[in-house]
Structure 1
Amino acid sequence: MVTPILSTKRLSLRKMKVHDFKNLMEIFSDPEAMKYYPATKNGKQTNEWIKWTLDNYAKYNTGLWIVEDKTSGEFLGQCGIVPQEVDGVIEMGIGYLFARRVWGNGYATEAALACTNYGLQQLKFRKIVALIDVKNIPSIKVAERIGMKFKKTTIKWGKKVYVYSVSK
């Protein structure tokens, strides 16, 4: 059994491993799940994503974690805290992306709240941001439910994104 980084009432969050490739491809190959990303990801891009995540663990002691059902161990998605460049400044940003088959169950909100609290309390980040495509209403609702407030609109990844944040 892998030791979780975090757990909630229903969820267990653990470090990503190379063997998570197949589970991540469930999300990355789904055009609907990837609607607000530049594109779906192929196998090479997914391996690069895993490497980037593992590098974040080493550099920042945080990153995206695999979210699993606490009881069954079923893969649900990923959520965590990663460095994001916002208007020339590196901020720690919450990220969440779940398999479409589990949308609507509150998993993103539950995981994002746990990660945000962990980042502010255990990792002592002064604030955590969320960068959200202006059309991504479900993600905006998650950010608001975890206590984030709209701060501004900026350009990131070649498009307009909202910057939400929460501070200690």
Structure 2
Amino acid sequence: MSLSIMSTERLLLREMTKGDVGHLLTIFSDPEAMHYYPSTKDEKQTIDWIDWTLANYTRFGVGLWIVEDKMTGAFLGQCGIVPQEIDGNIEMEIGYLFVRSVWGNGYATEAALACKNYGFEQIKLTKVISLTDVNNLPSIKVAERIGRKKEKTIKKWGKEVHVYFASL
């Protein structure tokens, strides 16, 4: 049984487990959902992703969490707080990635806002960021909807990425 982290009006966010490989592959194997990532992921890369996430839980006390429909338990995507290196410093990023069939329902905004509040209220972060591909307008809109402002544009993962931030 995985640990529930938080819930919103419509969503439950819980810890990722090794049993989530199939769920995550619905996103990772979809070329459109993965358009702003370097490539799609196969099963082994998905297991590596879960291992990275579990290591973040241990090392930082946060990571990406599985997002489920609160009423049905259906897998919707992942959202959480992950460490990212920016200009030689570790910053905490709110990251999100959802199954394409549920895009446009406000789930990313709802989950990201819950993670932002969790970061400030529960774990006492003073700043959270989001990294968005400069061409990923839906992700940029999510960052802006939850009150983050563009701080700068950097080169990361071999491309131009906006750094959005919110602070207390």
Which of the five TM-score ranges fits, normalised by the shorter chain?
over 0.9
Secondary structure (helix, strand or coil) at the match of 2:20 reads: helix
Give the number of equivalent residue pairs.
Answer: 168
Match of 1:167 in 2: 167
Counterparts of residues 76-115 of structure 1 (less than 5 Å): 76-115=76-115
The aligned runs of 1:115-154 (5 Å cut-off) are 115-154=115-154
Measured in 2, the distance between the counterparts of 1:4 and 1:57 equals: 13
* Aligned position for 1:61: 61
- Offset, 1:118: 0.2
Q: Determine the C-alpha separation between the residues in 1 that align with 2:80 and 2:52.
A: 13
Runs of 4+ in structure 1 over 6 Å off: none
Does residue 13 of structure 2 align to residue 13 of structure 1?
A: yes
Shift of residue 87, structure 1, vs aligned partner = 1.6
In the alignment, structure 1 segments of 5+ residues that lack a partner are: none
* Aligned equivalents of 2:111, 2:19: Cα separation in 1: 21
Q: Percent identity?
A: 65
Rounded Cα–Cα distance in structure 2 between residues aligned with 1:158 and 1:88: 16
Secondary structure of 1:5's aligned partner: strand
Contact 2:15 2:66 in 1 (8 A): yes
Q: Is the CA contact 2:2–2:16 (under 8 Å) kept in the aligned structure 1?
A: no
The answer to whether the 8 A contact 2:24-2:46 is kept is yes
Give the CA deviation at 1:88.
Answer: 1.4
**TM-score of the pair, normalised by structure 1:** 0.98
**3-state SS of 2:68 partner:** strand
The alignment's TM-score, normalised by the length of structure 2, stands at: 0.98
Q: Offset at 1:121?
A: 1.0
Deviation at 1:58, TM superposition (A): 0.5
Task: Confirm or deny: 8 A CA contact 2:2 2:17 kept in the other structure.
Answer: no
Distance 2:22 2:90 in 1: 31
